[in-house]
Amino acid sequence: MFKRVSVLTAATLAISVSLATADEIKLGGGGASIATVFTPVKTAFEKTSGNNLIILQSTPKDGLKQLWNGQIEIAVTAVALDGMIAGAEKDGVKVDKSALQTIEIGTNKTVVMVHPSNPVANLTKEQLKGLFTGKITNWKVVGGKDAPVLVVWGKNSPGQNALFTKVILDGEKIVADNLETTDYKGIKETVAANPEAIGIDPLGMVDDSVKGIKPSPEANSPILMITKGNPSAAAQKLISFIKTEGNKYIKQ
């Protein structure tokens, strides 16, 4: 009586060896930086490097907490580091800033999104202030159709909201009667589904389902990669890829 033995093919062995030796990089944090840089480069980086890039989107503050607690290797953000540290401390996580390494990896550009059918192509700062604060309630005032303005606002994009409020709205509050949604993806999908809608998102979120309008002045912020101590060899490989070959995948 013979025992049946399964035989691994050369191809299967090669795949097994590849999976065993591939480095896994866990990266997490704010959606603006992820949408702008890391999601666009993920596939190409993995193919080129053989490393697996695991993206865990949360918020800049939560990404920093995960980094400090050893749950991820890289935290990413498009908001100021000091604010993240203060937010983490309020949640009971005391982060030593001197133990962190920060590397500027790109620029987060906030764009105004409208429905593709909206004829409006340009908006001044004063017009944007009027639309988002509720002083302008009909699109015809800014050259659009005779239709009510529907402001879409994300509750899970605090950094983006704060930057836009500071630079474009001069600190004025968003109109109370807004359509609140969740995160960057939710904002885009809501604008895409409503011809009267207007919202804000990172440039990396813009696709054919919406029309992007760059605000003037631009509401930009640096995108940072943060590590606890020096970046690992795999993390350094990701940094080098983004700054060289991977740059072509990033929306500018």
230 contact partners, CB below 8 Å, separation of at least 6: 101
DSSP 196: T
On whether both 58 and 115 belong to a single domain, the answer is no
On whether both 53 and 101 belong to a single domain, the answer is yes
CA distance 143 to 140: 5
* 121-169 pLDDT per residue, tens: 999 999 999 999 999 999 999 999 999 999 999 998 888 898 999 999 9
Contact 85, 61 (CB under 8 A): no
The pTM is what?
Answer: 0.81
On whether both 101 and 226 belong to a single domain, the answer is yes
Is residue 215 helix, strand or coil? coil
On whether both 128 and 138 belong to a single domain, the answer is yes
On whether both 165 and 188 belong to a single domain, the answer is yes
Whether residue 14 lies inside any domain: the answer is no
DSSP 63: H
Whether residue 199 lies inside any domain: the answer is yes
pLDDT at 11 over 70: no
CA distance 95 to 172: 32
On whether both 124 and 205 belong to a single domain, the answer is yes
- Convert 134-161 to b/e letters by CB count within 10 Å (16 or more is b): bebeebeebebeeeebbbbbbebbbbbb
17 contact partners, CB below 8 Å, separation of at least 6: none
On whether both 123 and 196 belong to a single domain, the answer is yes
Tell me the one-letter amino acid at 216.
S
Average pLDDT of the chain, as a whole number: 91
On whether both 130 and 199 belong to a single domain, the answer is yes
Whether residue 96 lies inside any domain: the answer is yes
Predicted pLDDT at 7: 44
219 contact partners, CB below 8 Å, separation of at least 6: 109, 110, 163, 164, 167, 168, 200
Label residue 118 exposed, middle or buried (CB < 10 Å: 0-12, 13-18, 19+): buried
On whether both 161 and 215 belong to a single domain, the answer is yes
Contact 47, 94 (CB under 8 A): no
Give the count of domains, the chain.
2
Contact 198, 113 (CB under 8 A): yes
On whether both 236 and 189 belong to a single domain, the answer is no
Predicted pLDDT at 23: 87
- The parent domain of residue 129 ranges over 109-220
Whether residue 216 lies inside any domain: the answer is yes
CATH number of the domain enclosing 50: 3.40.190.10
Predicted pLDDT at 106: 93
More confident residue, 23 or 180: 180
- Choice among 1-15, 57-71, 79-93, 201-215 with the minimum mean pLDDT: 1-15
CB atoms within 10 A of CB 84: 28
On whether both 164 and 65 belong to a single domain, the answer is no
Contact 226, 16 (CB under 8 A): no
Predicted pLDDT at 15: 45
Helices (H), 34-149: 39-49, 60-68, 81-90, 125-133
On whether both 81 and 203 belong to a single domain, the answer is no
